[in-house]
Structure 1
Amino acid sequence: MNLISILGTIIFSFVLTIVFTPLFINYAHKKKAGQMIREEGPKWHEKKSGTPTMGGLVFDLVIVVIALLGGLVLHEFNSTLLILAFILALYGFLGFFDDSIKLLKKQNEGLKAWQKLLGQIIGGVIFLLVFHYEGLEFSLTIFGFEINAVWFYSLFVLIWLIGFSNAVNLTDGIDGLVAGQSIIAFGAYAIVAYLQAQYDVLLFCLAVIGALCGFFLFNRKPAKIFMGDMGSLALGGALAAVSILLNHELSLLFIGLIFVVETASVILQVISFKTTGKRIFKMSPLHHHFELSGWSEWRIDWTFWFVGVIMAVVTLWFIL
């Protein structure tokens, strides 16, 4: 891909998102499809109740359309591009049902955990089938040791897709945080894809970056729309899939460190409270701890993004 193709993909994705997002916001207001804020969250978040959600519907569709059309135009239309679009769409579809149930029941609880998990597993299995069809190796290198067991790698892929899908979902708690952090992560993998000449993966990453840049204009504080589970679940699953297809799976632990730490804060909080009756953090995920410590949402965003950029740069330095 040349510079024109790269910029063109980002620009088309960006423009489509900034055109259709306001239309979706207006539609959501007319239908009164606003976010229900969880009661256990920070009290000042209550004023966000009623803000349109499911914004992921717009950028998910834009990403799929731009990625697939770009694949046709640039002769990069293949099973790799299709499976990335599929994971984004399927996990986004799960989020759609989750968000829809919340809106219909006017509560902050959607799909049951087992229903969401089942859908994520099905997506992971289909991903593995395509992975096998492409003739890619079922092997994982950990600290210089290569593990070539099919069962082990298959289990790892399922855990990776499900884990990071949920991790990004947990991180989506304040305005603009996930959109900005995802742009950083997909940007890092776009560089890896370009240097590996995996232009199909690069095309997908560029479509995501453009769409999220457009969505961020409406999602930054004060957010006019939230991405909802439809956006966060899809982004997390797609990010994990990209790291796998680039054969740099474990790099996501560092490029996506913010997602990892946010998830770890929830796990540690639950374990601590159930075993000792005490909480480690004022509230989890971690961004709420900083909110209750007096940090503004913008300060949290910029701090987390700064850490994300530093980790992305350092990780790229080591793996390239």
Structure 2
Amino acid sequence: MDAQSLSWVLVVAFAIVVLLGPIVIPLLHRFKFGQAIRAEGPARHQKKSGTPTMGGLMIIISVVFTAMRFSNSPTTDILLFAMVGFGVIGLLDDGIKVIRHRNLGLTALQKIILQVIVVVLFYLFLYIRGWHFELFIPGFNTALQLGPFYLVFLTFFMIGTANAVNITDGLDGLATGTTAIAFGAFAAMAWWESQWNVSVFAMATVGALLGFLVYNRHPAKVFMGDTGSLALGGGLAAAAVLTRSEIWLALVGGIFVIEALSVIIQVISFQSFGRRIFRMSPLHHHFELVGWSEWRVVTIFWLFGLAMSLAALYLYVR
């Protein structure tokens, strides 16, 4: 598949979301599917209360249609299963929040159980295809043969990635832009390795995210919700697995790693020493509270994510 074909994938996915916006967003308004803002968050976020959520549905619909249109294969099915599977969990979480008019949906345990089920099914699909369960180590031209232990790794890897992206989704356009950049990097990696199906899936996601950014940029007209962020995290992890680039994701998705670590560090510090390292976690809220505008935080994080992805691509093709 050449670059022109991939460009069409991006354009179609972009157009679908842009066309869905004027239909879906008013429906979300009509059914009062508005976002509840947590009271302990930055005060200026309270004005966002009521902004429609579950906009991630537009992203998922676009990716599913575009990927199946341009690359209908078992590989595409597995990738879409990961995205849709995690997306359904996010949809349940968002639905409970909306129905109960609160910022808490599924419990942490319920989320983990459902996510583990999706990961196990994803693993079984790979097993049926005769997948070699190994972990490629960049720079050493070797791979660790994990065998059945790969399921343990895969569980932590996919759930960790999905929830890291979910944590990053806290400002207008933040998760949208950073995940678009990360998927773009994996589209390039897959194309380099002639894995056309993965490249189409990743490029379709980039296009859908750029279309969603039309409505999600500051001030956002719609939020992706857990429906979108968990779906994107699951899809991103799946793309890394199928390109055998799991370790590369730590660099490509460095912004997600940092955001997740900021939460972990904050919790450990407060519970152990009664002190907070950051004014608020995740990290993007810390920068807000030190005086940065929301748009400045988002722009800097986008640029950081872009730099990390470019660095990963440079090292990958060497």
How high is the TM-score relative to the length of structure 2? 0.97
2:91 is the alignment partner of 1:82: no
1:206 matched residue in structure 2: 203
Could you tell me which residue of structure 1 aligns to residue 168 of structure 2? 171
Paired amino acid for 2:241: I
Aligned to 1:141: 136
Are 2:265 and 1:268 equivalent residues in the alignment?
Answer: yes
- Determine whether 1:93 maps to 2:88: yes
Partner of 1:125: 120
**Separation in 1, partners of 2:184, 2:105:** 31
> Which residue does 1:241 correspond to in 2?
238
**Alignment size in residue pairs:** 315
- What corresponds to 1:64 in structure 2? 64
Percent identity (aligned): 46
Partner of 1:302: 299
Name the aligned partner's letter for residue 228 of structure 2: G
Give the TM-score taking structure 1 as reference length: 0.96
What's the secondary structure of 1:147's corresponding residue? strand
Structure 2 runs not aligned, ≥5 long: none
* Alpha carbons 1:79, 1:130 under 8 Å: kept: no
Q: Deviations over 1:97-150 (max 9, x none)?
A: 100000000000001111111111111111111212222211113463632121
CA displacement at 1:95 relative to structure 2 = 0.5
Over the aligned positions, Cα root-mean-square deviation in angstroms equals 1.1
Distance 1:249 1:286 in 2: 24
1:74 is matched with none
Distance between the aligned counterparts of 2:198 and 2:102, measured in 1?
A: 37
Does the CA contact (< 8 Å) of 2:66 and 2:204 recur in 1? Answer: yes
Contact 1:17 1:215 in 2 (8 A): yes
* Structure 1 residue 302 displacement after superposition: 1.0
Matches within 5 A, 1:42-57: 42-57=42-57
CA-CA distance at 1:281 after TM superposition: 0.1
SS of the counterpart of 1:222? coil
- The aligned counterpart of 1:35 is 35
Aligned-partner SS, 2:143: strand
Deviation at 1:28, TM superposition (A): 1.4
Q: Aligned partners of 1:134 and 1:65: how far apart in 2? A: 23
Q: Which 5+ residue runs of structure 1 have no aligned equivalent? A: 72-76
Say if 2:110 is the partner of 1:115: yes
Asked if 1:314 corresponds to 2:298, the answer is: no
SS of the equivalent of 1:140 reads: strand
